Structure 1
Amino acid sequence: MDIPLGGWRMRAAGGFTGRANSTLTLGNPGMPIADALVRTVEFAHAHGIGPCAHVVVGSPAEAGIEAAGWHVDETHPGGAESLVMTGPLSPGEFPGAVVNATPSSEWWELTAGSTTPSDAQRHVLSSYPCVGYGVVSYDEAVVGAVRGAVIGDLLHVSRLAVRPSHRRLGLAGGLLRVLYAWAVARGAQRQALQVATGNTAAIELYKRLGCAEHHRYRYWVPAA
């Protein structure tokens, strides 16, 4: 569910992921911010999720949201603050890495925590028409996964995961390069991704692949 509120967008998807279950506060909501936040709360309650605003750090909306009594959600599962990184694509090959047109049970287990995903997980991760489901195998076992969605000339990278037992082997970088090759074949020329500011290992990986910080965002919630 994605409903416009002026330039804002109120989103709900069964509670799976912060982005899909928050109001994106870009642009002008077409009404005073305090009134727009009331609409945000009403929308969230109507769809069985907690009220939450996705706010770009330093954006025009941020001060108004704070003045309305909302605060940064320090308990958000993904971390209080995330950064958006953008960069070029450097395609390549890597042994054991492949991008599939449909997600396997191993892909679901690594990216969503279960081989039998919920309807909300399926909707958020597999409803877009141009999505690739990357996996990398080591010793004949799937140990890494990633999701890529091509929109226009932009590859959106998400859900990158490598089993703890197989980290620091170069698998994540190799898998990403194979995903880049898949995306370039579908018209992508650059990439974008979100990563929690506390995930320093992932940030350093993306920097090595040519990405740089574009902006930061935080999730804000109303006072109890």
Structure 2
Amino acid sequence: MEVLVMTLEGVALGSRIVVRHETGRVGPSGGPEMTDVIGHVQSVDDATVTILRRDGDCRTVELQTVVTWKPVPEPAPRRQRARSVSAEQLTRITSRGWPAIESVPLGDWELRAAGRFTGRANSVAAVGSPGVPFDEALTDVRDFYRQRAMPALVQVVVGSDQDSTFRAAGWTALEGYHGGAVVQVADLRQSYQADPAARVASVADDDWLANYGRVDDVPSARAVLEGPDLVRFVSIGTPAVAIGRVVVTDQWAGLSAVEVHPEHRRHGLARRIVETSLAWAVEHGADKAYLQTMRSNTAALALYEPYGFADHHDYVYLQDTGSAQQ
């Protein structure tokens, strides 16, 4: 194991490897069950290695369970059109692009908390199965948020089985402007041009945050915004008068936080931010992109339409109005 750790420490982040490890279960032959994880190395330490698979799922493997590993070549380019990805898979990708400070799995579900900075980071991403009976899953969800003195919220795809099941259990839609969003997607091209006047930084500095305007808890906001490995913060002006955020998760780019100071709107700054963001994303391996915005935000929808963005699915937040904690 010591040799394995030393060898993995020498592998650059982003290298593609395959790891065979024991699952802790008994295999068909009576010996330990083993499975392979293949993907790009996201992090490695003395105890674990985290690998990003092609489908956007991150797997953390304990080194003490590893039987063998080896580098593998990059696959031949294959392009899956953005519209062909399921809402369930895309929800997982968007969650990794906007990661909660606390993330606890419950089967396929993800229980998220981040100091109440945005609904996306403070709700259950309820896609797939919780792996336990629904009533038991509800108890786990309520306990998770009760322990953090937070309201229990779930994010569900509109029209999905989860949407119907939660509503049947008495959960109701969160009202107001931030009660849900439309997720739009686009296939990317290679011809975007980064604006030479735009700054592309790896951190959300005070100037950038001042333009975002939705930050009450700066440490929590920075932890979420800066959480992914491949994320950049784009700005124009000194001090900044236009900003945006772009993240790359495997082959997906996520655009968010495109804001222009009211006194500088209608001068094309938002398009310059988007163009620069997409150019950076393509350079870092993205061939598809997503964004999340309110259906009532007609200005944002008009901004992204020329780039080929089209509706993929809607999601809504449901609240536990029948629980005593509410």
Same-fold call, TM cutoff 0.5: yes
Q: 1:11-160 counterparts in 2 under 5 A? A: 11-75=112-176, 78-89=177-188, 91-94=192-195, 96-113=197-214, 118-137=218-237, 140-160=238-258
What TM-score comes out, normalization by structure 1 length?
0.91
Normalised TM-score (structure 2) = 0.64
Distance apart, 1:62 and its partner CA: 1.0
What does residue 210 of structure 1 align with? 308
Opposite residue 48 of structure 1, the aligned amino acid is: A
1:220 counterpart residue number: 318
TM-superposed CA distance for 1:46, in Å, is 1.2
AA in 2 matched with 1:64: T
CA shift, 1:37, in A, is: 2.1
- State the Cα deviation string for residues 28-82 of structure 1 (Å, max 9, x = none): 112233332222111011123211000100111111100111100003xx52231
Structure 2 unmatched runs, 5+: 1-101
Name which one, 1 or 2, has greater alpha-carbon Rg. Answer: 2
SS in 1 for 2:194: coil
After TM superposition, give the deviation of residue 117 of structure 1 in Å.
5.6
Larger deviation, residues 30-39 vs 124-133: 30-39
Segments ≥4 residues shifted beyond 6 Å: none
Higher relative contact order (CA 8 A, sep 6+): 1
- With 105-114 and 190-199 compared, the bigger mean Cα shift is at 105-114
The answer (yes or no) to whether the contact 1:98–1:175 under 8 Å persists in 2 is: no
SS of 2:211's equivalent?
Answer: helix
Corresponding residue number in structure 1 for 2:7 = none
**Unaligned 5+ runs, structure 1:** none
* Structure 2 Cα separation of the partners of residues 68 and 4 of structure 1: 21
Tell me what 1:182 maps to: 280
- C-alpha contact (below 8 Å) 2:145/2:152 kept by paired residues: yes
Taking a change above 3 Å as real, the CA distance of residues 12 and 117 of structure 1, as seen in their structure-2 partners, is closer
Q: Which residue of 1 aligns with 2:39?
A: none
Amino acid at match of 1:127: G
**Counterpart amino acid of 1:171?**
L
Select between 26-35 and 145-154 the one with higher mean Cα deviation.
26-35
Separation of aligned partners in 1, 2:172 and 2:302: 29
Q: Distance in 2 between matches of 1:119 and 1:81?
A: 25
Distance (whole Å) between structure 2 residues aligned to residue 13 and residue 112 of structure 1: 17
CA deviation vs aligned residue, 1:132-184 (integer Å, no higher than 9, x gap): 110012xx441111111111111111111111111221111111101111111
CA distance 1:101–1:161, shift in 2 (3 Å): same
| 8 Å contact from structure 1 (residues 34, 64) kept in 2 | no
Deviations 1:83-120 (A, max 9, x none): 10111335113353231222232111112556x96221
CA distance, structure 1, for counterparts of residue 230 and residue 109 of structure 2: 25
2:58 equivalent in structure 1: none
Paired residue total: 219
Q: What one-letter code is carried by the residue in structure 2 that aligns with 1:181? A: A
Structure 2 counterpart of 1:161? 259
